[in-house]
Structure 1
Amino acid sequence: MSTFQPLLLLNVDILVDIFDHIILPDELATEEEIPRAVNEDGTIPGALTALASTQICSGLRQTLINTPLFWGKVINLDFLADKEELREEIFLRTRSVPLCVQGHEHLQVQDQKMKNKSLPITLQDNWYRIQTLDIEVTSDKMATLILELSNQLSPLLERFRVQSSGHIGASWGAAFKSSNNLAPSLSTYDCGLYTLDVTAPWLCQLRTFRFHAHVRARNMLSSEVFRALSQMVALEELFLDCNTLKKTLSSLPEGQRIALPKLNRFQTLGDSWDCLVLFELLEIPSTCSPGVTITNPDYNLRQCLPSLISHFSRFAIPPATSCLPTHLQIDFSVYGFRLRAQNVPLDDPFPHFPTYDYPSTFISIRPETSSSLPDIADFMPMLALEKLAYGVKTLNLDLYGKFASRDNNHMDPFFQALENLVHLNITRTAFEYVVQLPFPLFPNLEKLTLEENTTFTNSPELISKFKELRTQFALRQVAIISTYEL
């Protein structure tokens, strides 16, 4: 068994759980050696060692199948699928195929290895009893296999997710259509490789629909997507990539509307004008949590943003005080800005820009390159952030570039309105802005957390401001969490 690459591509939490449960033979290792396979910060230090690989293999049957975090995950099980007893255990436990074929460097080896082995056999022999299919297609051969299977009846299939790595050809895609008989119990459909058959009977029972085709497949798309949407009367979650639907959006009849009465989560990505058209096309309940990520913003943004914000005012960021979000995250940088607002704790104080899957209301503007960025600072008054501030108890704040300059004081009304703020997570550049505010800060603050490795070594003025603020906060018993020590 090779020890030059990880034995399993597992979530860190799963690995930690495995190591916690493995009981090792004395001749292999002592208990003190077990934690070395995972760093203190939870990361994995490269490939698993031969010893760790042996340990996992020796306890695989007893540990993996008894690890709750293992089941339902998308992991690399291509070698495990050759083991009849474990493959059967997977199906008995989950009725799913947790297989993910990935890795461009080893793609040819993987395809050759699986030509007559694990993946085709696993899928073909067990298609009729699979409840969840979650797989990445990395070759035309794999795409053909999925195409053949998807046109067969699968009586138990509930979740169908097939993604492309971008290395497949586009020639087969035009005929890559889901069958009417795909699954009578299907509730989740997530596939950028398909167009939709608008007569498929399972459309009316879908609860989750995601559509974002790879760039090579975009010329296949048509109004079928929107015709299919009109059939999805039970839909609860929807993601649409406007970049892949641009031609369709421009050809839709004026005044056409699609009602989605049960929708509670809606995400869209694309140019500002296309996102606005989509909002005006769909009839969405006011209880829905929407999200917009504007990529490659152009000067239409100045015209579209007020209308988009107006649409958002009907959803999870209403003017009613009782409904205001308690957790808010704002990222303003040279690459754009993002706004998230929700009534549950934020998961990460300083994450990257969102891609497709954020479970909260947000507006994000994320250009492909900084050179295409219009003067977004001019849009700050349109956001009217002070309307959100009153109920906020936790704020994650990141300011860069022009947004962090005191020459731009559009943020001041927002900071003045943060009367109920309890916990502030803040980056160094945002802190530079905050300490220069000409009014008292956050009367109810209990904890200020500075981004890790924040330092003011090269700024005597900031050191002085930091000392002054620390003294003020000490009198108010506000905790300052920082790795920087004066």
Structure 2
Amino acid sequence: MAISHLGHDVLWRIFLMNANLDVVEDLGKLYELNKGPPRYTYSALTITRRTSQVCQSWRDLILGSSSIWGRVIHLDFLNQETSDWREELLRRTGEAPLCVKGEVMGYVVEDFFLSLLETEWSRIRRLDVRIHNEWEFEDETWEPLLRPTSSLECFNLNYSYSNSRILSGSKVKLFSNNAPSLREFYSSGIPFSLQASWIPQLRHITLSLPFNGPQILDALKSMLFLESIQLEDGIVFYQTGVGDPPLPHIVLPHLRNVAVTGHFGTCTQFLVCITPSLGCGVNVDSTNKKRIKEMTSQELKMAESVFSRYSQNYFDVYTPTRVVLRLCRGEFHIHDLLDPIRLPSSPTFKLDIHSSPSSPISVFINCITITPMAALTHLDLQLSAGAIEPHNQHFIRFMYCLSSLEVLQISSMATLEFLRSMTWTHSTPFPALHTIKMVQSMTQSTKKLVSELMQPFLKWRVQLRFPITVLDLTFCDTGMFGNLTFLESFPGLKLRWSSQGAFGEYLCGRRTPGALRF
């Protein structure tokens, strides 16, 4: 059916779906170089405006729908010198609820945004704004935030500078303690009470200083509908003194995502106290170099236990097929890459742990060894020199789990020699492996690909009777290849590369070795 034959009710639903500020498409490739729109993005506001100019029928339908225009108050596209378009947009919203999103940069957008807060606060439904000023406003500027609001569902208001604050004083009553529709609260730098009436109804929350661990856990007791929580850097979880009760354990049956940034001990202590829903994602970031210190044996034991619990809880639901694993001295990173069929909002699993170089970081591999890794087909393995020993039993046990691994992505050819030199004691490691993909990092962009590191690995796989069939160098600079004619001794091996936007492929064994000289 042609779109011109669709009824107005169906068209209106399509236009309403397009009026979604949380979906910003990157259309930069449709434009000539240096002639794209701001930041190479289109907005739901721009799409709605241009849709209303297609034909008279569509124009009448869209202009007559205040609810559509109320959903597209995108500050990034409202910085015109004159106020004509901003005033016209507000007029088109009528009395509809408002969704306001964007970056406050410059006096024009700043004045418009503050005016919206002052005059339209009662009908703002979603607020997602970052302020880029280097100065803080007086508290009087934020007086609208102290008013009750029956419409507000999502509140995300932050300065881009972490030390800046919105409102001051610990006794401020945000929303006058009256926001019955609020479900999402992401702001930091705004004082509020964890005993506020709107806290128990939240589905999503971000917490930061000045709250501490015991205060947060106490508040979570009443937040039974919580679906995601993010704790920002600086929050301290401490065990109380002798004779004081231990930190409570909280069951959050709807929790799907938990993110913690901060000191390693803070991250683990919080996770220990929480039992989330089955399949809950976790994102731990303890990479603040100012806080790095050697882990105690007690911290390591606690961390291994809690990360094992969370990884098994997650991977029992989301069987991993694509994983990034990075090991450096004192660093452990693992990231479950979402499958294309999963929504971006799906839970994810990511650990980014930094400690002193002397900490036995490899023990964290045990946390993922107990999970079902047999379905893993793609592994991005990043190993730095000295990060782990070839005979490390934690790592060997993990590698033996990868029975379905098909594609191994590396950032250094030295990784191949490391894998070959590992202490393999029984069955063939990764029997399904057929592709090695080399992705050259920026730090290695000037290093030659060393044949002495590739050739032994390829021979080893042939001897195991599980040869590599594809060597993918698409993401490497061909200027660093040098002479790769030794690959001719591996018949059936496909070499792939890219040069100046053109893709090349050579099937080894054709006896035209000149094609392998770069």
| TM superposition score normalised by structure 2 | 0.66
SS, match of residue 379 in structure 1: helix
Q: In the alignment, what sits opposite 1:276? A: 268
Matched, 1:193 2:184: no
List gaps (5 residues or longer) in structure 1.
1-9, 21-33, 39-43, 103-109, 348-356
User: Aligned runs of 1:53-452 on 2, under 5 Å?
Assistant: 61-62=49-50, 76-79=76-79, 82=83, 83-87=86-90, 95-102=98-105, 110-111=106-107, 113=108, 117-137=111-131, 138=133, 141-142=136-137, 144=139, 147-164=142-159, 165-166=161-162, 168=164, 172-213=168-209, 218=210, 224-241=215-232, 243-246=233-236, 250=240, 253-295=245-287, 296-317=291-312, 324-334=319-329, 336-341=331-336, 344=339, 359-366=347-354, 372-377=356-361, 379=363, 382-383=366-367, 385=369, 388-403=372-387, 406=390, 410-428=394-412, 429-437=414-422, 440-452=428-440
The superposition leaves residues 391-438 of structure 1 with CA deviations (integer Å, 9 ceiling, x where unpaired) of 322222111132266476752232232111123222215344335446
Asked if the contact 1:139–1:167 (Cα under 8 Å) also holds between the matched residues in 2, the reply is no
List gaps (5 residues or longer) in structure 2.
1-20, 55-67, 485-518
CA RMSD, 1 decimal = 4.6
In the alignment, the residues of structure 1 paired with residue 73 and residue 434 of structure 2 have an alpha-carbon distance, to the nearest angstrom, of 38
Question: In structure 2, do the counterparts of structure 1 residues 422 and 338 end up closer, same or farther at CA, with 3 Å as the change threshold?
Answer: same
SS, match of residue 118 in structure 1: helix
In the alignment, the residues of structure 2 paired with residue 255 and residue 15 of structure 1 have an alpha-carbon distance, to the nearest angstrom, of 46
Question: In structure 2, do the counterparts of structure 1 residues 410 and 325 end up closer, same or farther at CA, with 3 Å as the change threshold?
Answer: same
Aligned partner letter, 1:16: L
Bigger mean CA deviation after superposition, 435-444 or 467-476: 467-476
SS, match of residue 303 in structure 1: helix
SS, match of residue 312 in structure 2: coil
The superposition leaves residues 183-221 of structure 1 with CA deviations (integer Å, 9 ceiling, x where unpaired) of 2111111121234424422222211111134xxxx4x76
Aligned partner letter, 1:340: H
C-alpha displacement at 1:158, in angstroms?
1.0
In the alignment, the residues of structure 2 paired with residue 343 and residue 95 of structure 1 have an alpha-carbon distance, to the nearest angstrom, of 32
Bigger mean CA deviation after superposition, 159-168 or 89-98: 89-98
SS, match of residue 309 in structure 1: helix
| TM superposition score normalised by structure 1 | 0.70
The superposition leaves residues 122-158 of structure 1 with CA deviations (integer Å, 9 ceiling, x where unpaired) of 2222211111111224466547367422211222211
In the alignment, the residues of structure 1 paired with residue 117 and residue 456 of structure 2 have an alpha-carbon distance, to the nearest angstrom, of 63
Aligned pair count reads 421
SS, match of residue 239 in structure 1: strand
Aligned partner letter, 2:349: T
In the alignment, the residues of structure 2 paired with residue 64 and residue 447 of structure 1 have an alpha-carbon distance, to the nearest angstrom, of 50
In the alignment, the residues of structure 2 paired with residue 12 and residue 206 of structure 1 have an alpha-carbon distance, to the nearest angstrom, of 23
Question: In structure 2, do the counterparts of structure 1 residues 200 and 146 end up closer, same or farther at CA, with 3 Å as the change threshold?
Answer: farther
Question: In structure 2, do the counterparts of structure 1 residues 74 and 478 end up closer, same or farther at CA, with 3 Å as the change threshold?
Answer: farther
C-alpha displacement at 1:160, in angstroms?
0.6
Choose between structure 1 and 2 for higher RCO, CA contacts under 8 A separated by at least 6 residues. 1
In the alignment, the residues of structure 2 paired with residue 437 and residue 45 of structure 1 have an alpha-carbon distance, to the nearest angstrom, of 52
Asked if the contact 2:377–2:407 (Cα under 8 Å) also holds between the matched residues in 1, the reply is yes
In the alignment, the residues of structure 2 paired with residue 434 and residue 177 of structure 1 have an alpha-carbon distance, to the nearest angstrom, of 59
The superposition leaves residues 16-61 of structure 1 with CA deviations (integer Å, 9 ceiling, x where unpaired) of 17x74xxxxxxxxxxxxx43247xxxxx79989xxx99xxx99994
Asked if the contact 2:252–2:276 (Cα under 8 Å) also holds between the matched residues in 1, the reply is yes
C-alpha displacement at 1:234, in angstroms?
0.9
Aligned partner letter, 2:33: R
In the alignment, the residues of structure 1 paired with residue 153 and residue 231 of structure 2 have an alpha-carbon distance, to the nearest angstrom, of 20
C-alpha displacement at 1:280, in angstroms?
3.0
User: Aligned runs of 1:459-474 on 2, under 5 Å?
Assistant: 459-465=450-456, 468=459
Question: In structure 2, do the counterparts of structure 1 residues 73 and 261 end up closer, same or farther at CA, with 3 Å as the change threshold?
Answer: farther
Question: In structure 2, do the counterparts of structure 1 residues 142 and 447 end up closer, same or farther at CA, with 3 Å as the change threshold?
Answer: farther
Question: In structure 2, do the counterparts of structure 1 residues 403 and 184 end up closer, same or farther at CA, with 3 Å as the change threshold?
Answer: same
In the alignment, the residues of structure 2 paired with residue 128 and residue 319 of structure 1 have an alpha-carbon distance, to the nearest angstrom, of 40
In the alignment, the residues of structure 2 paired with residue 378 and residue 316 of structure 1 have an alpha-carbon distance, to the nearest angstrom, of 16
Aligned partner letter, 2:125: Q
Q: In the alignment, what sits opposite 1:482? A: 473
C-alpha displacement at 1:451, in angstroms?
0.7
Asked if the contact 1:90–1:96 (Cα under 8 Å) also holds between the matched residues in 2, the reply is no
In the alignment, the residues of structure 1 paired with residue 449 and residue 279 of structure 2 have an alpha-carbon distance, to the nearest angstrom, of 48
Aligned partner letter, 2:332: F
